[in-house]
Amino acid sequence: MTTVRLAREDLHVSVSDPESASMNFLNEIAARFPDAIALAAGRPYDGFHTTDDLDRYLRTYLAHLEGLGLTHEQRQRQLLQYGRTNGYLGDLIARMLLVDEGIEVPERAVMVTTGCQEAMVIALRGLCAGPRDVVLAVEPCYVGLTGAARLLGIDVVPVPESADGLDPGTVAAVADAVRAGGRRPRALYLVPSFANPSGTSMPVAARRRLLDVAERAGLLILEDDPYGLFGLDDERRPTLKALDTGQRVVYLGSFAKSCFPGARVGFLVADQTVVGPGGGRTLLAEELSTVKSLLTVNTSPVAQALVGGFLVEAGCSLRAAGKEKTAFYRHNMRTLLDALDRWFGADPGVRWNTPAGGFFVVADVPLTADERMLETSARDYGVLWTPMSFFYGGGTGDRGRRSIRLSCSALEPALVEEGVRRLAAFVADRSEPGRPGPGGPR
Amino acid sequence: MTTVRLAREDLHVSVSDPESASMNFLNEIAARFPDAIALAAGRPYDGFHTTDDLDRYLRTYLAHLEGLGLTHEQRQRQLLQYGRTNGYLGDLIARMLLVDEGIEVPERAVMVTTGCQEAMVIALRGLCAGPRDVVLAVEPCYVGLTGAARLLGIDVVPVPESADGLDPGTVAAVADAVRAGGRRPRALYLVPSFANPSGTSMPVAARRRLLDVAERAGLLILEDDPYGLFGLDDERRPTLKALDTGQRVVYLGSFAKSCFPGARVGFLVADQTVVGPGGGRTLLAEELSTVKSLLTVNTSPVAQALVGGFLVEAGCSLRAAGKEKTAFYRHNMRTLLDALDRWFGADPGVRWNTPAGGFFVVADVPLTADERMLETSARDYGVLWTPMSFFYGGGTGDRGRRSIRLSCSALEPALVEEGVRRLAAFVADRSEPGRPGPGGPR
């Protein structure tokens, strides 16, 4: 029998997803230079949970189910069997959203997903019905969203963001242009608070205007909110979903940062009314359960029980129970901003933004911040960062070529400071002041 | 602000997936008539695992990692953080496949998935690159496969099966017809042993011929093998992957029946060589990791640890460690076949097949086995079965209208017997001998 040989270009385009390839490159560099300080890693800090917590979370959740009146057999079945497609945490998550965010949604509007990534795939798949349907997305954009769209064959139309996040007027203009071109802008994806990768946040007034623009443009909004707990101050920034009186927002949530990533539990909230051919009404989250069942059947109920136990212990308030995490990330972000000021304050060629919270800062640098330069930085200077070009189509174009994303979420504070010191040495040696990038130094 | 109203027909076609709708109907009927005996439920029996096992599996796996030399911090990180896209169980699964099935594949050919459903989505997505690429699938077909294809916009071309499973000649003829029509038959999906829904198994000689046909037709084979452990006898039926000397088979595995469904852990084995544009070589499982990352990032490492602990305890042999499960399902299948013989042996209008193992028997019945009749059966006779039409395009056509699938996997043996007794009462009252279906009674 002859042996199969497949050609990569004969596989689906998503196999060669440029953003994913960029991220793989980053991971390879990190693996090759393990002593380099990773100002590139956007993952949460390791120190908040241990495997000793797992059994306690399970027992807490089983006791919670017992309190709800489930028999021993029902509890066993709920954790070990196949289960409800949309999951079991709707009540706890709805309560959490009310307590923490003032979001009022019925339990049945919540779908538990295998991480927030699956929630994105499900929302995109359900909403985009045909080839004319496109999704608008903030640019620079989280690579998971653009990749999910590529997987499904859905076109993404970028909406460039400003220093204050998305400008509603720009959204309206892009939506109009898409419609004028004969396509339907079905939804808009953004991270309104402490965005990944840009660190920007939308002012409250702009959030309200964005909801008006979405209504006029017939757009739904996909609000991704993984970092909302981690503001630098205690100012409450209402989510778009909290301001959403017209059920225009599908809210995408993650427990990777508020609980831990290894559970792979996220959720979506979709309380939009869907009218069937016979006039029957359901909620969008219920309609999307078919899509969920075709992807992963249901989210592991053991994983759900871990997060359920965590939520029960937290009294369904991540803001109250997560103060240690919030304090850690605040301290790290302040350390990063202080270190940038100390090491680059006198350098007019380096400028950076000052996020109000979250995990990420973007710096413009006087050099071409590409893969080759990243490798040099890792090997010769012991510091890793993320080329911003990765978030503009995977580094295939020119945008973001002289900007880098710096993250402070996964590191001890002392390493953040040392990382910036190494970055300063790298930039001092490698800067090309005679070759300003598109737009030049600010 | 006006409130959003969405129309169901304006959502993606997969939201209204007819097979999924059929399964939802079945679940609703089961919920409405909880006292009906479910000869419809294909889930595994509840009694093999308890939540008390979970902590032990986790500790077993953590000890296994310690034995491999991982430090405390590395073990914590592996279970709680984001992790390797293709998962951590490649070594244990490769060993299991060698011990139990004589399948020899390298660890890096294994991808751990969020249940076997995700494995199907990943394989279909990666292999079907454009609109000309179609998938052949055995008919009647497991609804998860046809639904996954619909989600991705991939056409499925049915290949009707015989009493001995797929006939290689029929596969060749369908593949030729697809090619003659200007499309590319990219892969063939089937369950060669104890199929769902039909219960059929392919003889070994037919398996070998199928591999030859696949080679000539340029087809890959997607071999789904969730029931392989549960033969009625100890005869070893080689999987297609065990016979596959040309790396033509992508093997899809599930731990839902051999371990428990609530872990949501499955896997795929794809050892095909992929050649990149620059001539570099990888394995298909490695190429598909991008697709996996865009669906669920990685399979919950806590869930993987549960299955990992189970595999370590089992010495990587499910055949050796799963004897209790095998004995249970054998006993139930024999009980079902004996009961059919007792209650229907004298009725020439009812005929059924005699599977060599697995969870399912198909019976031809002298009545229209549709949703309305199922409701009657549940309400008035206290027994549930699955209309076979559900597995031919979700019951939208005429095929399978006078056949039912009977399952014996989830029930106590005494209930299997009682279920068939009730089924006999239902058939006796409701048969329409004057209206034979397509093909009539056998």
CB contact under 8 A, B303 and A299: no
For residues B65 and B48, give the distance between their C-alpha atoms in angstroms, rounded to a whole number.
26
Q: Percentage of residues in chain B with pLDDT exceeding 90?
A: 90
**What residues of A are in contact with residue B264 (Cβ under 8 Å)?**
114, 296-300, 303
Same domain, A196 and A106: yes
Residue whose C-alpha is closest to residue A389's, from A319, A438, A317, A333: A438
Q: Verify whether the Cβ–Cβ distance A273 to B301 is below 8 Å.
A: no
Report if residue A265 sits inside a domain. yes
Q: How far is B66 from chain A (nearest CA, A)?
A: 14
Q: Are A295 and B295 within 8 A, CB to CB?
A: yes
Q: Give the residue on B whose Cα is nearest the Cα of A42.
A: B82
Nearest CA in chain A to B147: A294
Is residue B440's pLDDT more than 70? Answer: no
- The pLDDT of residue B312 is 98
Sheet (strand B403-407) strand order: B351-352, B360-364, B403-407, B386-387
Task: Looking at the complex, report in whole angstroms how far the Cα of residue A382 sits from the nearest Cα belonging to chain B.
Answer: 22
Number of domains in chain A: 2
Task: Give B228's pLDDT tier (boundaries 50, 70, 90).
Answer: very high
CA distance B322 to chain A (A): 17
> What span, in angstroms and rounded, lies between the C-alpha atoms of B299 and A262?
8
Q: For residue B95, which of B85, B86, B105, B87 has the smallest C-alpha distance?
A: B105
Distance CA B349, CA A439 (A): 81
B246 and B170 in a common domain: yes
Query: B270 near B285, Cβ under 8 Å?
Result: yes
Determine, for residues A51 and B62 on separate chains, whether the beta-carbon distance falls below 8 Å: yes
The string of pLDDT tens digits covering residues A72-121 is 999 999 999 999 999 999 999 999 999 999 999 999 999 999 999 999 99
pTM, two decimal places: 0.96
Nearest CA to B90 out of B330, B341, B271 is that of B271
Contacts of B75 in chain A (CB under 8 A): 51
Cβ of B291 and A151 within 8 Å? yes
A to B CB pairs, distance under 8 Å: 290
One domain for residues A326 and A223: no
Torsion B69-B72-B77-B79 (CA) sign = positive
Q: Are residues A213 and A316 in the same domain?
A: yes
Find out whether B200 and B355 touch, Cβ atoms under 8 Å: yes
What are A165's strand-pairing partners?
A: A162
* Residues whose CB is less than 8 angstroms from the CB of residue B230 and which lie 6 or more positions away in sequence, other chains included: B194, B257, B325, B326, B329, B330, B333, B357, B358, B359
The pLDDT, as a whole number, for residue B24 is 83
Distance of residue A116 Cα from the nearest chain B Cα, in angstroms: 8
| pLDDT confidence of residue A437 | 42
- Please tell me which residue of chain B has the smallest CA distance to A85: B24
Rounded-to-integer distance, Cα A429 and Cα A423, Å: 10
In contact, B349 and B357? CB cutoff 8 Å: no
B101 and B19, same structural domain?
no
Nearest chain B residue to A10 by CA distance is B129
Task: For B369-380, give the secondary structure using H, E and C.
Answer: CCHHHHHHHHHH
Per-residue pLDDT averaged across A308-325, rounded?
96
**Cβ atoms < 10 Å from Cβ of A282:** 16
The residue of B121, B257, B268, B300 whose CB has the most chain A CBs within 10 angstroms, and thus the best one to mutate to test that interface, is B300
Q: Which amino acid is at A176?
A: D
- pLDDT value of residue B441: 33
Q: What is the mean pLDDT of residues A188-215?
A: 98
pLDDT tens-digit series, residues A238-248: 999 999 999 99
| pLDDT at residue A384 tops 50 | yes
Q: Which residues of A touch B43 (CB under 8 A)?
A: 81-82
Nearest CB to A8 within list B12, B128, B277: B277
> Mean pLDDT throughout A409-433?
94
What's the pLDDT tens digit per position in B113-149?
999 999 999 999 999 999 999 999 999 999 999 999 9
In this structure, the answer to whether residues A400 and A379 fall within a common structural domain is: yes
B255 and B263 in contact (C-beta within 8 Å)? yes
pLDDT band at A442 (very low <50, low <70, confident <90, very high): very low
Distance between the two ends of chain A, CA-based, in angstroms? 63
Task: Note the pLDDT tens digit of each residue in A42-85.
Answer: 999 999 999 999 999 999 999 999 999 999 999 999 999 999 99
Q: How confident is the model at residue B442 (pLDDT cuts 50, 70, 90)?
A: very low
| C-beta separation of B275 from A5 below 8 A | yes
- Assess if residue B8 is contained within a domain: no
Indicate the residue of B11, B21, B144 with minimum beta-carbon distance to A126.
Answer: B11
Give the domain range for residue A186: 54-320
User: Cα separation of A249 and A244, whole Å?
Assistant: 7
Please classify residue B35 by burial: count the beta carbons closer than 10 Å to its beta carbon, then call 0-12 exposed, 13-18 middle and 19+ buried.
exposed
**Residue B49 in domain:** no
pLDDT tens digits for range B159-171: 999 999 999 999 9
pLDDT digits (tens, 9 = 90+) for B307-360: 999 999 999 999 999 999 999 999 999 999 999 999 999 999 999 999 999 999
Q: Encode pLDDT of A320-350 as tens digits.
A: 999 999 999 999 999 999 999 999 999 999 9
Token readout for B395 is: 């019951």
Does one domain contain both B330 and B287?
A: no
CA-CA-CA-CA torsion sign (B330, B335, B336, B340): positive
- Which of A320, A345, A371 terminates a domain? The answer is A320
Alpha-carbon distances of A422 from A33, A340, B134, rounded to whole Å: 14, 11, 53
Residues A100 and A173 placed together within one structural domain of the fold: yes
Residue type, A380: D
Burial class (CB in 10 A: 0-12, 13-18, 19+), B313: middle
Per-residue pLDDT tens digits for B240-264: 999 999 999 999 999 999 999 999 9
| Same domain, yes or no: A220 and A309 | yes
Report the gap between the CA of B416 and the closest CA in chain A (Å).
20
List for chain B the helix, strand, coil content (%; round to 5).
Answer: 45, 15, 40
Looking at CA atoms only, how far is residue A88 from chain B in angstroms? Answer: 12
Tokens 């970028």 belong to A158
How far is Cα B270 from Cα B288, in angstroms, rounded to an integer?
9
Q: What is the mean pLDDT of chain A?
A: 95
Q: Which of B3, B4, B124 to mutate to test the interface with A (most CBs of A within 10 A)?
A: B4
Same domain, B274 and B351: no
Quote the percentage of chain B above a pLDDT of 70.
Answer: 97
How sure is the predictor about B434, in pLDDT bands with cuts at 50, 70 and 90?
low
pLDDT of residue A259: 95
For residue A221, pLDDT beyond 60: yes
User: Out of B6, B129, B263, whose CB is closest to A12?
Assistant: B129
What pLDDT was estimated at residue B433?
A: 66
